[in-house]
Structure 1
Amino acid sequence: MVMDMRIEQLEYVKEVANCKSLVEAARRLHVTQPCLTNAINSLEDELGVDIFVRSKAGAKLTLAGQEVLKISGLILDQVDELYRLSGKHQSRQEIHLAVAPAVSNSAILEIIEDYRKSMPAAPIYVHETRPEKIFTALTRSNRSIGIFNNSWLSAIDQAEFDIELLYEDKFCVFASCKSPLHGQGSLTIKEVLEHYPVATPICDQDILAGYLNHPKLSLISSGLYNFSDRESLKSMVVSDKAITCLPSSFAYRDLYVENALWAPLKVSDFDAPVNFYMAYPRRKLTHAESTFIECTRAFYKRWEPVV
């Protein structure tokens, strides 16, 4: 007897069983619901059993469906083993990353250098993504790994993704190297804001306003400018027209710092922690994804803050 079942149908069964919903499974698999429904219906017809009971509450495995899921899992594991035997397949596995600007500005180049030692021919796509859009990028596009700061941690579906802390950072006050404040030793944030308005990335405006706007300060008097374009923000600061607050990791391998265009100020009373996390899907990861995740972990284990 010749059977027409496809590997993707078994993957669909596994995802629907995990989600208990055809709608949610279709979203995670990046297929339309009719396509998913037709694939499962076709498999049920071929096997002659009902795999799921559908209702308004979702999709529940039947007794026969539980056996199908068990056998499907074994088959999919064996398929993964076949792929692992293929060095050619592994070397061409591509990955898409959604990374926050602070990571794209600093660590990502060194992580990629390490990754290339293990996967020299594997394509890698780095999508610099504002932190508030990381979750959308992970769930509604082909991005599979995200690195972002904690101000958007609650937006990530922790039932769908594994999330781990990469490093603990802090916001620092960056000013032009032309600024006379660099020669004044330790400053207070009040003294800084008496001289300059604040230019901040739109993605961090809420968290920074919370750190800066306390009873002794008035951002209204000094000004708060929000930028969606990082280069425009840098130009404003370098021209000595504003200061900015960015994670200290921005200083790592930053051309503006290396060329003495801007530098962090020593501000004694500005305590603004920010942590960075990595998110990746709760499924069997590809060899490329696993390798990149390990390279990222290794980088941050040896990470030493610049400021």
Structure 2
Amino acid sequence: MTLQQLKYVIEVVNCGSINEAAKKLFISQPSLSNAIKDLEAEIGIEIFLRSAKGITLSIDGSEFLGYARQVVEQAGLLEQRYLHQKPSRQLCAISTQHYAFAVNAFVNLIKGSGAEEYEFTLRETRTYEIIEDVKNLRSEIGILYMNPFNQKVIEKLLRENRLDFHPLFTASPHIFISTRNPLAAQTSVILEDLQEYPYLSFEQGEFNSFYFSEEILSTVFHKKSIHVSDRATLFNLLIGLNGYTISTGIVSADLNGDNITSVPLQVDDRIQVGWIASHQIQLSKQARLYLDELKKVIQDYGVPLLE
């Protein structure tokens, strides 16, 4: 087993395919495949499961990856300390539902990294894909919410994929609307107040289950409904069409401007936001630093943490 082989495994996981990893490593695809097969033969496990659709980490491979990342990270520290080499390229990947506070924390992570080289990834994506990303270790951390409606389904899916949910905070439901919306002057709203306004939500693709919705009350009928795929489009439509969406109430003026506001929604429900990770691996230093920044941002908004 060599350090180079460990780096090969990590790069394949980061890229999601052997072909793409070989390109980034500037080696041939057969050479990379053979190096990984030799490693698997030496340690007696299958790191990757191979099929016509591509490769995925095996259960044993997920555990192996955790150790490999630690070894490579420690080797980088040794090189910096004793060989006077420049700091190693920092890596971190996060998958999240469409939360501005998750982006704020990511910005702070990068600003505070001080690294000469880094390759960070932030995926604002669909609920099911967040779970898939973390299960397959494309991302170390996923950020999503649970409430009484979706909790049993989400928890079952996390258990099946050996993922743990760590609560961050619990929020009362709010609507996000334009500051020019007539409802912006109200101290709170009820569902009946919203009937004539377009309802905006994030589409969930082929896994378009009520339980995977990013918005609570996903089974409520709306006379006017618009599905979008990104946060910028959603906020533009909130302003252009006087629409609304339902979320945590945490609005970032830095990212969304000062023309979006939140108003409490009077419903008997709660939104518990947390992060998920595989319990088979230890988080990297950068992932742990991201969580620290995430908690700071949440507290800066005046929201008490659950941990």
| TM-score interval (norm. to shorter) | 0.5 to 0.7
CA contact (8 A) 1:163 1:280 kept: yes
Q: 1:106 aligns with which of 101, 112, 131?
A: 101
> What is the alpha-carbon distance in structure 2 between the residues aligned to residue 90 and residue 276 of structure 1?
34
Q: Judging changes above 3 Å, is the alpha-carbon distance between structure 1 residues 86 and 145 closer, same or farther for their aligned structure 2 residues?
A: farther
How many percent of aligned residue pairs carry the same amino acid?
15
Q: Which residue of 2 aligns with 1:288?
A: 286
The alignment partner of 1:225 has SS state of strand
- How many residues align? The count is 255
| Larger helix proportion of the pair | 1
Cα separation, 2, equivalents of 1:210 and 1:278:
18
Q: Distance in 2 between matches of 1:242 and 1:97?
A: 29
What is the match of residue 223 of structure 1? 224
Q: CA deviation at 1:305?
A: 4.1
One-letter identity of the residue aligned with 2:92: I
Equivalent residue number for residue 120 of structure 1: 115
8 A contact 2:216–2:246 mirrored in 1: no
The structure whose Rg is larger is 1
Output the CA distance in 1 between the equivalents of 2:102 and 2:70.
34
Aligned residue in 1 for 2:197: 196
- TM-score normalised according to structure 1 size: 0.62
Distance 1:205 1:177 in 2: 31
The change in CA–CA distance for 1:154 and 1:254 in structure 2 (over 3 A counts) is: farther
User: Structure 2: how far apart are the matches of 1:168 and 1:93?
Assistant: 32
CA contact (8 A) 2:94 2:123 kept: yes
Q: Counterparts of 1:77 and 1:135 in 2: how far apart (Å)? A: 23
Partner of 1:23: none
Q: Is the 8 A contact 1:175 1:240 kept in 2?
A: no
Task: Return the offset for 1:121.
Answer: 2.9
C-alpha RMSD of the superposition? 4.5
Instruction: Find out whether 1:165 has 2:167 as its counterpart.
Output: yes
Separation (CA, whole Å) in 2 of partners of 1:182 and 1:298: 28
Q: Which runs of 5 or more structure 1 residues have no equivalent in the other structure?
A: 13-25, 45-50, 53-58, 62-68
Per the alignment, residue 275 of structure 1 pairs with: 272
Counterpart-to-counterpart distance in 2, 1:136 and 1:9: 25
**Alpha carbons of structure 1 residues 80 and 37: separation in structure 2 relative to 1, 3 Å:** same
Distance (whole Å) between structure 1 residues aligned to residue 218 and residue 164 of structure 2: 32
Q: Is the 8 A contact 1:98 1:143 kept in 2?
A: yes
- Cα 1:133/1:109, change in 2 over 3 Å: same
* Matched residue, 1:39: 39
Q: Contact 1:179–1:240 (CA<8 Å) still a contact in 2?
A: no
Contact 2:90 2:117 in 1 (8 A): yes
* CA–CA distance in structure 1, aligned partners of residues 16 and 184 of structure 2: 52
Shift of 1:238: 1.0
Contact 2:98 2:125 in 1 (8 A): yes
